[in-house]
Structure formats: structure tokens, C-alpha cells
Chains A and B, each alone.
Chain A
Amino acid sequence: MSLARDRTVQGLTLALGVMLIVAALVPSWIVNQLLFGFSRAIAVLGLMVLWRTRLVSFGHALYFGLGAYTVALIERYAQVSDAFVLLAAAALLSTVVGFLIGFIVRRYRDIFFAMLNLAFSMILYGILVKTEALGSTDGFTIEAPTYAGIAFEDASQGKLALLCLLLVVGWACAVGVQAYLRSTLGRLTTAIGDNEIRVEYLGYSAEKAIHIKYVLSTFLAGLGGGFMALALGQVDPDSMVNWTASGELVFVTILSGPGSVAAPFIGSFVFEILRTYAFEWMPHAWQMIVGGTLLVIIFFVPGGLWALVARVAERLFGARAGAGPAAAGTGR
């Protein structure tokens, strides 16, 4: 079956078309929510690939923050303000760093994998917080970027342009990850999670497969961070690089569920909406909602939101809505 006939890809393409139209119609506050949600979704997509192998990184804010800070620093010190250049630089830098760190972390599993990533991300946090030239604890603000030379006078039009770019890039990432998951290397994802020794007996190197997966996830995290920086118009260490930011990414991964490459986009958007309303109605209960939701998902809905979506779709259409084989199984 070719990629073009893959139901998930078809669904994603349809969703892209719908979202591009929706983006032009909705009020600006929803545009903002979509920007934040889908920026994070790209990073979460990478964590989902790791999660399918039962790997949880408590330090992917390292790459998320690296992407965000690359955008901010290049714009500030090199006076480059083209969104395409900035985002490419963000993705490139975090991929290179991820590739190098990958040689170390690929040997570790379980909590050691989580902890080592945590250590590396806290190193970056330590540097950022204590260095005046890098913005210290306050971070930077970022000017609105230009798009291939086009500058938007109107701020809301600029946001809309960014959203369109984000939607297309997000679509490309999701399709790319889907293609990866369908390849032999990608199918090893679940296999390594289930039994690494058997995979090695089949003649594949589990470490190499994990390294590739890791680099993929760092690329996506850096790209997502870059988008987040442009969407927010600022970067700061506490909400982007500290370990709580990594925890947030992990939370959204679990919330979304590993069932489909579309799941992170749904999960992240729900997360943003939840956060907006929680801050409005119950300003002191946001973390409680996040923590409570996490516990509920771990105990009762191991497949995450996607499992719920798939269940509803099944009831409506009588078939599994593009859910991969891992929809329920991986959430054990």
C-alpha cells in the first residue's frame, strides 16, 4: 500500500485543507490557541515516537528550548528575521545536538534514559539562567518575523501567515512520521519496546534504531520550539527549558496517546484550551487539573484521548478510524 493510499495520510490531508479554511475564518484568539497547540504538537509527535518504544524523556525541553532560543538569538544578534531561515536553523541545531547526545543516551532505558535527558536539559537551563547575554531568567522578546521577504504590517495577519506555515509544516511532519512508522525501521519501534533481545536476534541493532528515533524526536522538538518562540513572541527559560517544561511535553504525550500521528495535534489543542479556561475560572487549580488528568489517564484510559476518539469513531462509522495497530496495546 503506497503512502498516498494510507488512510491516516488521507485523513491528515483532508484535515489540513479544512484547517487552512478554518484558520482564515476564526477569531484571532483561536488562531493563537492553534499556534500554541500545534507548535507543541510537533514536539509531542517526536515524544510519541519515543513513547511507542516505552522510552520517556524528562528532558526534551532541552531541544524545545534550543529551538526557541535559536530563533530568538539569531533574530537578536544576526538581524535575520525570515521565518523560514529561523525555523530551519532551530531544527538544524537541535538535530545536531540531538545526534551527538544520542550517542550517549541510546545505551540507556527506563528511568535512566529519562534521568540522563533530564541532566542534559538542566545543563542548558543552568547556562541560560546564569548568562546575561542569553537573557538570564527573563528571556527575550522576539519581533514579528517576515515570510520569504514579505512583512505583514498587521499583527493578526502575521499570526495567520505563521499559522498557515505551521499547518503545512505540521502536516508534513505528521506524514513524515507516519511514513517512518510504516517502514521497517519504524515497525521496530513497538518491537523494541516489547522485547529488545528478540529484535537483536533478528539481526537489527536496537541501539541504532533508538538513536535514529531519538534524532527524529530532537528534530521535531527543535522545530516545535522554534514555532513556539515565533507564536509567543518571546522566549524564557522557566516555561521552555526547565524540567517542568519537559514534564508538560510528557504530559501532553500521555494525554494524546500513542495511537496515531494525528493524536498529538488533538491532544495539544485540548491542552491549550484547557489551560486557557482553567486560568480564567480556577487560577490556582491548573496544576491540579493536569496532575489529576495524568493520573486518570494512567489508571483508566491508557490509550489517551486518541483511544476515546477512536472509540467514538468506531461507534459512528463501525470501523477503526485510521488507528494504527498500537492504538490500545502500547498503553499498558
Chain B
Amino acid sequence: METALTILLDGLVFSSYLFIVSLGLTIIFGVMKILNVTHGSFYAWGAYTAAFLIGLAANAGWPDWAGFGIIFVAAILVGLVLGLLLERGILQFMYQRDEVLIVLATFGSFLVLEDVILLVFGVNPYFAFQPMQLLGAVELGGIARDTYGLTLIGLAVVLAAGSWLALKRTHWGKLLSAVIFDRELSMAMGLNVSRVYIVTFVLGAILGALGGAYIAPTVSVAPGFGVDVIVLSFAVVVIGGMGSVPGAMIGALAVGIVRALAVHKFPQFELFVIYAVMAVVLVFRPEGLFAPVKARKI
């Protein structure tokens, strides 16, 4: 019973983390049809910036709770700068070209940004434990857990609800749906599609950076931080359906729970199961479980 609860809790925490990390990726894919490898860089830059700033704040004698504000500021800062830089500097010249070439261009950008991190932040790991320390641990059904991990679940719920509301209930969300459904027709209707693209990309970048920034206090932020996240979030997005927000949620839950199960019961299959699920889903439903309906074009 206790193991089952631990697995469930671990799974939920990890699912929430995966959802936060994958949300930006799936939104960018849904709107722009770009499989964005640079997402790993947003994540790593978010983590580095947050860890660096939290360290600075701690040295300057700021209270520990300031760390939470810093996390969000860092994410927005990184997302704005990197998102704008990439979209305006590289991607806007590529929209007419092959999807695969765009993937390669983001891969190139990812490699460049990986090394810029080393140049800016150096090779030593950063620790920003203050926010995690502040919250301490709680006991849930006889299992001690760090509270910070549990707040991940809260953040994931807030982001899920927020993105659902924004997409379904606001004017902007409806414009976005129109572009997702048919880019050319939206253009013909007088929609400024290139502005929609910029905003979407920056938003996706902020979400990617937020994933990294929020996870930074729980780990040591070291070189190569973004490498594993890319394939992990690819797996989540592919399983759920590329470009679908509910899909990312389902994908994150599936991967999170399955992984937690593997970690506790068959530790040697930890990585295997994630990609096995991804492969099986791709084989039977290449568009993913919850892919948005595509307009039929003649």
C-alpha cells in the first residue's frame, strides 16, 4: 500500500514536471508546426539564470521566499530574449522551407546555445537550494516528501487551467485556434500571422525556461542540463498528440506514472519504458493519442 502511494505520488510529481516542460513544446508545434529542439536550451537557460540569480539574492541577504519571484522573472527574461532572438534571427527565414530543415536549424541553434551557456556561466555546477529548503518536508500517508516537489503539481494544474482558459475563452485564443486550423485562410482573413508566430514562440520559450527555472532548486544545474529533457519532452508530446494541450497532459501522466512504476519495481527499465511507450504510440497512432483535428485541404 505504502509503495503504491509512493509510486503514485512520485509519478504525479514527475508527470507535473514533464507537463510543465512539454507545454511550450506542444504549443509551438501546434501553431507553427516546428519541432523545436531549442526547447532544451530554453530549459537549460531558465535553470541557469534562476540558479544564478537565486544565488546572488541569497548572498545579498534577500529572504529565501524571494527565490519564487526570481524563478518567474528569470523564466520571462530568458524566454523573451532567446525567443525573440531565435524567431526573428533564424526561424522567420525558414517558414517556407522543409519541416525537417527547420528541425535541423533548431538543432544547430541548440548546439550553439549549449556552448554559450558554458561561456557565460562556466563549467561549475550551480546550486539554488534556498526555495526548497524554505518549504521543508511534509508527511503524506506515512511518507515524507519535500514540499517543493508537491508545489510542482500545483504549478502544473495552474498552467493547464490557464492555457485551457486562454485558448478557449479569450479573443487571442480564438485567433490562435484559427491559425492552428488553417494558416493560409487566417492570413486571407486579415490575421497578422507573423505576429501570432512571434508571440507563440516567445510564449513557448517562456514556458520552457519556466520548466528549467522551477526545477533548478531541486537539482545541481550543470553542463548538459538540457540534453535529456529534449527527448523526454519529445516523448511526452508525441504520446499525447503533437500540438495538443490535453494531449501533453495525458502524455505527461502516462510517462510519469509508468516511469515511477519502473523506478520502484524494475529500476533497470526506467529509460526503456518511456521510449517503448513512445514507439508503440507512434506505431499505432503516429499523430499521437489526442492530435488536434486537421483541416482537410483540397
Contact = CB atoms under 8 A, between A and B. Distances in A.
Interface of A: 54, 56, 58, 104, 107-108, 110-112, 114-116, 118-120, 122-123, 125-127, 129-131, 242-244, 247, 250-251, 254, 284-288, 290-295, 298-299, 332
Contact of A123 (B113, B114, B123, B279): B279
A223 B297 CA distance: 44
Given A254-B104, A299-B93, A129 B112 contact: no
Nearest to B277: A119
B275 A332 contact: no
Classify chain B: how many residues form its interface, as a range: 35 or more
A123 B272 CA distance: 5
A179 to B, nearest CB: 27
Contact of B105 (A244, A284, A298): A298
Contact of A295 (B105, B273, B274, B286): B105
Contacts of B293: none
B271 A119 contact: no
A298 B101 contact: yes
A108 B290 CA distance: 18
A19 B107 CA distance: 34
B100 A54 contact: yes
Contact of B231 (A127, A243, A291, A292): A243
Contacts of B268: 130-131
Contact of B104 (A115, A116, A119, A294): A294
B254 to A, nearest CB: 14
Interface in B74-132: 90, 93-94, 97-101, 103-105, 107-116, 118-119, 123
Contacts of A131: 268
B103 A294 contact: no
Name the residue in A107, A114, A286 with the highest tally of chain B Cβ atoms < 10 Å from its Cβ: A114
Contact of A294 (B97, B100, B108, B119): B108
Name the residue in A115, A131, A290 with the highest tally of chain B Cβ atoms < 10 Å from its Cβ: A115
Given A130-B270, A130-B272, 6 more contacts: A286-B115, A287-B112, A291-B110, A291-B115, A294-B107, A295-B105
A129 B109 contact: no
Contacts of B103: 56, 58, 111, 114
A292 B282 contact: no
Nearest to A193: B98
B269 A130 contact: yes
Name the residue in B97, B105, B112 with the highest tally of chain A Cβ atoms < 10 Å from its Cβ: B112
A241 to B, nearest CB: 11
Nearest to A247: B107
Contacts, number: 125
B283 A298 contact: no
A172 B99 CA distance: 34
Given A119-B278, A284-B115, A110 B108 contact: no
B158 interface: no
Contacts of A254: 104
B223 to A, nearest CB: 9
B93 A111 contact: no
B101 A110 contact: no
Main secondary structure of the interface of A (DSSP, over half): helix
8 contacts: A56-B100, A114-B35, A114-B103, A118-B231, A126-B275, A243-B231, A251-B107, A292-B108
Contacts of B105: 294-295, 298
B26 to A, nearest CB: 13
Contacts of B276: 123
Contacts of B231: 118, 122, 243
A286 B273 CA distance: 33
Name the residue in A120, A127, A244, A288 with the highest tally of chain B Cβ atoms < 10 Å from its Cβ: A288
> Which 9 pairs between the two chains have the least Cβ-Cβ distance?
A291-B111, A126-B271, A294-B108, A288-B115, A291-B112, A126-B272, A122-B275, A119-B279, A287-B111
Contacts of B282: 108, 112, 115-116, 119
A118 B269 CA distance: 18
Contacts of B198: none
B12 to A, nearest CB: 22
Contacts of A123: 272, 275-276, 279
A298 to B, nearest CB: 5
B267 interface: yes
B235 interface: yes
Contacts of A129: 271
B74 to A, nearest CB: 23
A243 B276 CA distance: 15
B48 interface: no
B56 to A, nearest CB: 23
B238 interface: yes
B234 interface: yes
A235 to B, nearest CB: 18
A113 to B, nearest CB: 9
Contacts of B286: 107-108, 112, 116
A122 B80 CA distance: 32
A288 B283 contact: no
B101 to A, nearest CB: 6
